[in-house]
Each structure stands twice: as C-alpha cells, then as structure tokens.
C-alpha cells in the first residue's frame, strides 16, 4: 500500500512534448517531494499516462489551491487529473452469493487496514453469509433473484449502492449475470473476479473439470465489468502451478487462494489510482 503521508496525482492526456515536465516541474515549484513516479506513453493511440506519489515539504498544504493552480498548467496539455489525499478509505459495496472465501479475505484485509477501503454494505442473493458480515458489523442486504424478478432485484441493489455512497462495487464471487443496464451503470467502477483456467472450463465445478484434464496451472482474473460476460478490461491476473498430486478438492483450495490474492491486489491498485481505463484495455502501474 501507499504510505499514509503521501498524496497521489494521477493524470492522462494526449501525447506531446513536455507532459512529464509539466507535472514534475509543478511539484518542485510547489515544494512537493516525489516519492514514486510512473509514466507510460501509448504510441499506438498517442495517449500519455502518469501517476505520482508526493509529500509536501512544508506545512499548510492546500489541496484546493494546488488543484486550481495545476489545472491552469494542465489545460495547455488537455490533461485530466485526480488528486487523492493520504489515508483516504474508498467507500465500497461488496456483492456475493454463497462462496465465502473472497468476502472473508476482503473483510479481514478491511478490518486490519491492509486495504484502504470502507465497506458500507454487503449485498447477496442468498442469506448464507449474513453472520460473517454481522461479525464485522457491516449491514447485510439479502436480495433474492429469479428470472422474473431480476429488474426489481437490480433496482433494489442499485438503491443500496447509491444510499451507501459507494465509489467501488466488488463482485466477490457474485454468481449472477448483471443486466446490460446494470453493467452500463457500473462500468469502470465495479470489479469482478473469476477463475482463469486453460483450456477454459465453463459451467459447474470448473476445478473438477480441470482435474479431469490434468491441468498444470490454476489462475484467476480480476477485471472491470462490462456487458461482455467475464471479458471486461483486465486489472490483474495470477497463476499458480499444480500437478498430478492435486485432487479436485486441492485444486479448489488452490484456486480460491489465487482468487483472493488476485482480487485484493486489483482492489488495491484501483484504490491507489494505479489503474487507468484506456478504451477496452487498462494501463496499470503495479507496485514493484
């Protein structure tokens, strides 16, 4: 995670001479010390991305003045930017079904401060995980769904997300396909996690199918949702080796571990403004 005393400036603009200089020179003139800097120029699409962590060297740092003065400089480059203060905990809503491994992992990381998030609510189409949310003192909303009630259920889910003031929705093994309308509403600020197996195994018990084929790698993919099922812009992926000694239950356990780690990493990158959505792809400045 980023240190608690650093600000984050994330910006992007068309590619042109001076894009790095306009950021770093302004920070120097503002008496701000750069602790981390990442940049990328997409030469195919002529788009520039930069992320800077910095620490003000003098007391009395005024973020509103900083943003107003930097906006005047950035205007010349048609540069859009976001400034994130130290220690900000992003308000989130988590959606789950019956599997508890990702939810349990996220709530632990939330409770211990490993993830800078503020979990406002848990939404599920099943009642099973309410005791887990209650133990953490988090409101749990049981929103059952059928093919006939899907529009009404999604309207209720959307109401909860809005009332919670969520800025990120996490699908932590929420085993329902969102409607195109809901996917559009959440585009760019909802993260999903699913297994990544080669070859791809769809349907029930994918890890059992993988066992039958003698798969040697299990993995997971975390991505932003869109209207293409499991095909949104990818944030991060992870794989782990397995071999002939892994029985189906071992593969399930390994796969769940990978899913937890991959999802937590993607959320951390999103919260720390390390991810830039770029058309149907992402630019991700991963931690070294």
For tokens 């039958």, the residue is 212
| pLDDT band, residue 198 (cuts 50/70/90) | low
Homologous superfamily of domain range 90-284: Formyl transferase, N-terminal domain (3.40.50.170)
The fold of the 7-84 domain, in CATH, is Alpha-Beta Plaits (3.30.70)
Contact 272, 224 (CB under 8 A): no
What is the reported pLDDT for 226?
82
User: pTM of the prediction?
Assistant: 0.93
Instruction: Please compute the mean of the pLDDT values over residues 150-158 and round it to a whole number.
Output: 95
Residue-wise pLDDT tens digits, 30-77: 999 999 999 999 999 999 999 999 999 988 899 999 999 999 999 999
Helix (H), strand (E), coil (C) string for 172-207: CCCCCCCCHHHHHHHCCCEEEEEEECCCCCCCCCHH
- Which residues have a catalytic role annotated? 230
Instruction: Report domain extents, the chain.
Output: 7-84, 90-284
Tens of pLDDT along 224-271? 998 776 678 999 999 999 999 999 999 999 999 999 999 999 999 999
Q: What is the pLDDT of residue 288?
A: 67
The confidence score (pLDDT) of residue 261 equals 97
pLDDT at 1: 47
Q: Map the chain to HEC letters.
A: CCCCCCEEEEEEEECCCCHHHHHHHHHHHCCEEEEEEEEEEECCCCEEEEEEEEEECCCCCCHHHHHHHHHHHHHHHCCEEEEECCCCCEEEEEEECCCCHHHHHHHHHHHHCCCCEEEEEEEECCCCCHHHHHHCCCCEEECCCCCCCHHHHHHHHHHHHHHHCCCEEEECCCCCCCCHHHHHHHCCCEEEEEEECCCCCCCCCHHHHHHHHCCCEEEEEEEECCCCCCCCCEEEEEEEECCCCCCHHHHHHHHHHHHHHHHHHHHHHHHCCCEEEECCEEEECCCC
Of 97-111, 188-202, 227-241, the range with the highest mean pLDDT is 97-111
- Whether 7-84 and 90-284 share one fold: the answer is no
Higher pLDDT, residue 203 or 93: 93
Find residue 242's DSSP bridge partners: none
> Average pLDDT, whole number, for the chain?
93
- Which of the four pLDDT bands, split at 50, 70 and 90, describes residue 202? confident
């Amino acid at each position: 995670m980023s240190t608690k005393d650093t600000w984050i400036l994330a910006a992007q603009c068309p590619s042109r001479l001076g894009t790095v200089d306009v950021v770093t020179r302004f920070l120097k003139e503002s008496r701000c010390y750069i602790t981390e800097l990442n940049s990328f120029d997409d030469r195919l699409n002529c788009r520039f991305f930069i992320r800077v962590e910095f620490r003000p060297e003098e007391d009395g740092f005024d973020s509103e003045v900083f943003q107003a003065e930097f906006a005047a400089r950035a205007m010349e480059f048609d540069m859009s930017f976001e400034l994130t203060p130290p220690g900000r905990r992003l308000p989130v809503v988590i959606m789950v079904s019956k599997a508890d491994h990702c939810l349990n992992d996220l709530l632990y990381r939330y409770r211990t401060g490993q993830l800078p998030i503020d979990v406002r609510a848990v939404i599920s189409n099943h009642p099973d995980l309410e005791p887990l949310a209650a133990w953490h003192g988090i409101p749990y909303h049981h929103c059952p769904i059928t093919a006939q009630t899907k529009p009404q259920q999604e309207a209720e889910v959307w109401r909860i997300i809005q009332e919670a003031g969520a800025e990120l929705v996490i699908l932590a093994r929420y085993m329902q396909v969102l409607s195109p309308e809901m996917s559009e509403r959440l585009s760019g600020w909802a993260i999903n996690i699913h297994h990544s197996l080669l070859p791809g195994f769809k349907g029930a018990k994918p890890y059992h199918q993988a066992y039958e084929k003698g798969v040697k790698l299990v993995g997971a993919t975390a991505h932003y949702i869109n209207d293409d099922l499991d095909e949104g812009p990818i944030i991060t992926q992870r794989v782990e080796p397995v071999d002939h000694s892994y029985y189906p239950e071992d593969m399930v356990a390994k796969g769940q571990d990978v899913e937890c780690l991959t999802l937590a990493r993607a959320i951390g990158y999103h919260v720390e403004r390390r991810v830039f959505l770029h058309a149907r792809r992402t630019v991700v400045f991963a931690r070294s």
